[in-house]
């Protein structure tokens, strides 16, 4: 199976993406440099071929999203067949959260078929390898507070920025 990748600049920094023929395998959150993206993509780049053309539609969509335009990333094809059934179910449920809204880890666990496993839902989000495509920034604690994002608490500011961005986009008039 051929694997492809691209690292591209966005309004929030550099992002990386890796894909198979079936869909996206991995994306990064915005990073300060292309080298930081490559480091985060790690072994998923082994044997991968650079193919910026393949990722042009994704690049354009992510850029528009990060510029605050009302676009969705939920229709991007993903390839997560190697993940556990629970992670797949949690990621699918996460992708169903409407832009500009949040849900709790408890809700996510219930949607994934394990209502008593909100911590497991949290672990599924912690292992989310498709940042923005699987919008784990929309998942919050039961009290509404922000919890882990992007490899720990250091990225909670970005989580809040993404939620604010989506809320602004939802308030824009149609046709903008």
* Three-state SS letters, the chain: CCCEEEEEEECCEEEEEEECCCCEEEECCCECCHHHHHHHHHHHHCCCEECCCCCHHHHHHHHHHHCCCCCCCCCCCECCCCCCHHHHHHHHHHHCCCCCCCEEHHHHHHHCCCCCCHHHHHHHHHCCCEECCECHHHEECCCCCCCCCCCCHHHHHHHHHHHHHHHHHHHCCCCC
* Domain assignment of residue 59, yes or no: yes
- Known catalytic residue: 136? yes
CATH code for the domain of 116? 1.10.10.10
* Domain assignment of residue 76, yes or no: no
CATH code for the domain of 10? 3.30.160
pLDDT reported for residue 175 = 43
Q: Which residue among 97, 136, 139, 169 is the active-site one?
A: 136
Tens digit of each residue's pLDDT (9 = 90 or more) over 85-124? 999 999 999 999 998 888 999 999 999 999 999 999 989 9
pTM over 0.85: yes
Task: Print the domain residue range for 163.
Answer: 85-171
């Amino acid at each position: 199976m051929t694997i492809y990748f691209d690292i591209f600049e966005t309004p929030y920094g550099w992002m990386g993406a890796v894909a198979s023929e079936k869909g996206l395998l991995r994306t990064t959150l915005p990073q300060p440099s292309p080298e930081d993206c490559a480091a985060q993509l790690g072994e998923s780049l082994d044997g991968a071929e650079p193919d910026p053309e393949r990722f042009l539609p994704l690049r354009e969509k992510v850029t528009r999203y990060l510029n605050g335009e009302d676009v969705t990333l939920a229709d991007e094809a993903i390839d997560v067949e190697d993940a556990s059934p629970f992670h797949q179910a949690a990621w699918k449920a996460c992708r169903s959260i409407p832009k500009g809204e949040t849900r709790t880890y408890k809700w996510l666990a219930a949607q994934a078929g394990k209502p008593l496993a909100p911590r497991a839902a949290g672990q599924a989000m912690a292992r989310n390898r498709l940042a923005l495509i699987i919008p784990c920034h929309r998942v919050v604690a039961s009290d509404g507070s922000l919890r882990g994002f992007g490899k720990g608490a250091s990225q909670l500011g970005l989580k809040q920025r993404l939620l604010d961005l989506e809320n602004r986009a939802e308030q824009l008039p149609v046709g903008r």
